[in-house]
Structure 1
Amino acid sequence: MFTSNFKNESFEFIPQVRHLDISTCKIQEIHKGALTILKNLTYLDVSNNTCIKCEGLENITSDLQFSNIKILKVNYLLKISDLTTVLKTSHIKGLHNTSLQNVFVDGNRLQTIEKNALTYLPKSLKFLSVRRNPFKFGYYLADVLHLSNLETADISDLYLHKTDFNPEKCIFDSICTCNEDSVNEPSYMDHSVISSLYVKDEIRKRDISDIFSLAEIPIPTNLKHINYSSGSLVMDIPKLMFSRNKVETIDLSNNILHSLVGPIVNVESLKILNMANNFCSNITNVFFSTDFKNLEHLNFHNNLLGIILPDDNDGKIFHNLESLIEIVLAQNRIPNLPENIFKSQRNLQKLDLSDNILTDINFRLSHMMQLKELDLRGNRIAIISDHIALQWESLARKHNFSVDLNKNLLECNCLSIKFIKWMTTTNVRLRNIKKYRCMLWNRTQVSLHNPKETYNLLKKHCTSYEHLEIALVSGILLFIIIVVGAVVYRYRWKLRYLYYIVKVKYSSLHSEMEEEYSYMYGAFVSYADEDRIFVHNTLLQKLEVENGIQLCLHKRNFLPGNDIATNITSAIHNSRKTLVVMSHNFLKSYWCMFEYNMARMESIYERRNENVVFLMFYEHMCSTDLPLNVLEMIQSKSYIEYPNDEYGDTVFWDQLVNALK
């Protein structure tokens, strides 16, 4: 049929036609009544006839009211250069009493719809496509509730237009322009309607994105699928509440939705949500409300969630998504994921983390008993840790579990030999393993399609260095032990003193300032047990009884129950002086030398080098009999020898009393 105009008699000889496709036929005009004779018509396509315009659409729909039409395609009835249009009631009024189920009105430069016009679409309508129309927000949105049986609405690609390099030459240039008066809005509106539907007035001139200023988003009762991809939305999604609905699929991909704030409510039936390609960098912990309990498929492909997900240590973002079967987080520049990020996704079957910048796998998978596919392609993973490999093995024993590690920075060296060995024995299905490549110890890349061969190569290489590594590590450890041992031996008495003095200080319940400290004893007497008769009979009588110097003797003053070292350190610390009764027996006694060294440490570190150690030689001793630490003190400090004559005895006791007082 090659006519450019359709008149009343055009179809008089084929009235039984059911399927009529007159798309792309350069039709100039369809007269009213031209299609009336086609009573059995169920399919009509008049798309890509850009000279028909709005007037022709009105003629078409008017004639179809007498037909059995089920599918109507009226795409691209205007040129791309035409002004934006208004869909009026008169354009579609004739469809009201038809059994129409599918309508395609793509690319018709529709900017708005006359109020109440949508109410004339038939109740039987199930599918509506209005793609590539630059819609603006308006009162007509409230009318979508009348489309009670609508199941699918495609409102995608709003500002995308089909290029027309050879536009048709039309006889009539009149088109239905977007005149504000043609919208036929009333001069008033019932205030109860405004309060229940709108948050603000005077919104008819705003963009389609202002739909989100509604207190409740109107959704047809039986609508199941919404496609709003490439809708040029540039915004943050605020708190939203949908009207009662049965929506199962929402596609908001290819917009610019920077931040998902929420919460979103009344989405109990939602199973599929596509948020791909939205430059989204933030999802609040409340965006996915408990109403998302039935969501099964979530797509965040190509966003910027690598900014927010690494900080979700408690898994709050996806906490309410317990029914998820598939989640796509590919191309989100994710550097790492916390251990509990997916703690609520026990039913997950597929997890796509491909093309991120992951260097390691830290998140837990062991609770995902249904997980079958893990996609880690195109990351920066060098090695899989043992505990993650064990989790994967556990999943593989339950069902067919696969992992894709293609295009990662896998390493084949002595550090990763255990991982390469795991690859040779694992039950996990390594997808695309023939494409795996890894970097050897010499920085050359080799194919990893045969892990067993690579493992044998590594085993041979690493064994040759094993003995050298053991010897090197042993040598380093031995050197450290020698150095530490030498330091400990060099400062052994200082360390022992510090240990016991700290123990003494902190075992006391009442501590005092050093300036106000009062000593319990005038002197602590350090002596050998063989010299006890001299100490107990003579020394005690002369110093304590006759001169009032309170002495601390280990036989008399040490506390029972305490260990000897603690008693010694406490006695020295609580005595003003330490009197050493030096003899051959003293030098032979371990505890006597311990007392001597502890007294020296007390003098150096606690008394600021004050001379608190006083040597009294009870026997005549040669310098060769004395140890170095005693000789050092004799050379730098004064000492006194016990005399054998009566006159010297008197002078000796006077000097000793003066020294101790």
Structure 2
Amino acid sequence: MNNQIKYISDNPIAYPPFAELSQLDTLHLSGQHGRLGTNLPQNFLQGLTNLSVLNIRSSEFNSLHPLFFNYTRNLKVLYLSANYFTDIPDNLFSPIQKLKSLYISQTHLRSLDFLLHANLTELEFLQVRKNAFSVIREPVMQSLSALVYLDMLGNSFTCNCDNTWFLQWVKNNKQTQVYDAYNFECNYPPNLIGRKLLEIDVRSCTVDMEFICYISTACTVIMTIAVSFTHHFLQWHLVYAYYLMLAFLYNSKHKNKRAHQYDAFVSYNANDEGWVLGELLPKLEVKQGWTLCLHHRDFQPGRPIIENITDAIYGSRKTICVVSRDYLQSEWCSREIQVASFRLFDEQKDVLILVFLEDIPMQQLSPYYRMRRLLKRQTYLSWSRADAHPDLFWEKLQQALDTQEHPMGEHLRLTVV
């Protein structure tokens, strides 16, 4: 003790002073009056394989080589206080994992993060008084799983959300005694200087997970109910709104460019193709000379179906919807009538003709609210009621096609009874 060790470099030396003292248990080198900035060679402790207590406090050392403790793997107690260790290498303490007590006060330490890599799982006593760190991070304390006593009096603590975890840990942990914790004082921010650290209210910094879980669960339940309600009661309204928007965009884009290529676009279900090809097509195209647009014949291959549908409806003077139960259940037929009905109400002209192949009670049309509204105000024909007067049916259909696109409300009532 109280000598003048003056090693300038931490490079290995040829003759380590303790090479022959393998049975030495305790070594005190405190109070060395070397000049400021003195280092110790990295193999200074070579040979001390059974050393359990090492005291090099108050010796004006400013650093230790990362391999300094490689020769003292049985070290239990280490005094490093009152030196100038501003920073400590991350792996400095890795070789001495049996360490029980560490004294490292008054060394100008700015952080305790070096303990994260030390793997000091047996450390029970830690004294880090009067250093320069202000925030204690959770991983540092969690890495010291055996810690029983912690002394960090005289440090300058930050009293904000950065130390929220440390405040709660000091108050709630049952294993580690934090010496004189109720006298820890704030050093930042300026308006809290001098206040007691443990008196700071940090509730605004913590996240109430129970409340968040409650809100999340409540929102999930509400959304599930809303989606279920919407799917059950408003499904067709949403489908209609979607295709209404598509038709609106198409109409805005092509309003001044389109010309009527066909007299009528025929919207029908594939199961009703026999009637369309066997009855409708011969009567209207072959005998009466109307030009019809049929999806299986006139749609352009390779284009998106919805574009073909929209072009066909707006490229025809009128749209004939061949309605049956199969038609009502068809997704693509539903899209076609949505676009056609949008054109009907957008242009305010009689451009839609409904042909019912079979009698469908009004209550069965309840899911198809748009169809029910059209039936109340729009031209429609019933093939199922035309058995006795088929010629009248075709005459009425020809009248519907022949009439000009007059304003809605002035259309002919063409139901065949």
Higher helix share: 2
Instruction: Return the TM-score normalized by structure 2.
Output: 0.45
Instruction: Return the TM-score normalized by structure 1.
Output: 0.30
* Larger Rg computed on CA atoms: 1
